[in-house]
């Protein structure tokens, strides 16, 4: 079921769908007598790639997911009894010739850095790093940041967020936790963790949309109407989350 879910999900990504349209259209232009239909399909694919690459096309939808929860306030006074800071892995590669941080995806690096920031504000908490092989590399990054090994626990059996929720609940029991993951991924993660009976304190990291002067020209102003590579990345990330939410609701996981 895990691999079927991953395969079907990948087929529904905007990049995949538009590439399929483009391939069909080009094939019809070269090898079919229905060249007019082929031109229409190629035009649709080209228009789709253009719209997908415009960040303004996706930002309002991404923002709806990313800003459902506020950034964790390290000065809040109600977390003294929190037992765990749980950081979900965002993937990476396995290559022992590379430093731990280099093996991680940017999402994983951002998550573990946010987890470290939060951990410093809760002296009694332990750091729980989850997410298949990325958990080991996140532990390496945490140690480089100065987190003692005895304060870190890794969970590397789970392969998706649902499994992470199950394994984390088994490890933490009834302890209070702070849940750290990418902002766009947090609504689905919170729902899956609450389904397991936990009540995590949300801690978003790795924001794709940052409404600040640094992004005004590429996302929120007129610059958002021009195609950039970030648009395609955001389109796939958004689709991944909505498909994940839809699947979880259909099968009763949330």
Q: What is the DSSP string of 18-44?
A: HHHHHHHHHHHHHH-S-HHHHHHHHHH
Q: In terms of Cα–Cα distance, which of 131, 133, 198 is closest to 161?
A: 131
Is the pLDDT confidence value at 217 over 50? no
Is the pLDDT confidence value at 182 over 90? yes
Q: How far apart are CA 148 and CA 164, in angstroms?
A: 23
**Averaged pLDDT of the chain:** 89
173: left (phi over 0), alpha (psi -120 to 50) or beta: left
H or E segment to which residue 141 belongs: helix 134-144
pLDDT-derived band at 117 (thresholds 50, 70, 90) equals: very high
Is the pLDDT confidence value at 209 over 60? yes
Question: pLDDT tens digits for 57-101?
Answer: 788 899 999 999 999 999 998 999 999 999 999 888 888 889 988
Q: How far apart are CA 142 and CA 250, in angstroms?
A: 37
Residue pair 161/190 in contact (Cβ under 8 Å)? The answer is no
pLDDT at 118: 98
| The architecture CATH gives domain 73-205 | 3-Layer(aba) Sandwich (3.40)
pTM of the full predicted structure?
0.89
- Where along the chain do its domains lie? 2-65+224-250, 73-205
Is the pLDDT confidence value at 37 over 60? yes
């Amino acid at each position: 079921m895990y691999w079927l879910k991953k395969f079907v999900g990948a087929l529904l990504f905007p990049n995949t769908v538009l590439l399929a349209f483009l391939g069909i259209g080009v094939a019809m232009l070269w090898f079919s007598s229905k060249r007019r239909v082929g031109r229409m399909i190629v035009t649709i694919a080209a228009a789709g790639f253009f719209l997908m690459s415009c960040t303004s096309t996706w930002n309002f939808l991404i923002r709806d997911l990313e800003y459902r929860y506020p950034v964790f306030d390290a000065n809040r006074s109600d977390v003294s009894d929190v037992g765990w800071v749980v950081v979900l892995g965002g993937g990476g590669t396995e290559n022992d010739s590379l430093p731990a941080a280099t093996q991680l995806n940017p999402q994983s690096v951002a998550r573990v850095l946010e987890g470290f920031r939060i951990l410093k504000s809760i002296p009694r908490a332990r750091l729980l790093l989850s997410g298949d092989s990325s958990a080991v590399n996140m532990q390496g990054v945490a140690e480089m940041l100065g987190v003692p090994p005895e304060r870190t626990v890794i969970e590397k059996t789970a392969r998706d967020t649902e499994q992470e929720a199950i394994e984390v609940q088994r490890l933490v029991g009834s302890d209070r936790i702070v849940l750290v993951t990418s902002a766009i991924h947090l609504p689905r993660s919170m729902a899956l963790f609450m389904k397991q009976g936990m009540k995590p304190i949300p801690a978003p990291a790795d924001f794709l949309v940052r409404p600040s002067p640094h992004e005004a020209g590429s996302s929120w102003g007129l610059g958002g109407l021009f195609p950039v590579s970030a648009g395609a990345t955001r389109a796939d990330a958004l689709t991944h989350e909505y498909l994940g939410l839809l699947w979880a609701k259909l099968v009763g996981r949330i």
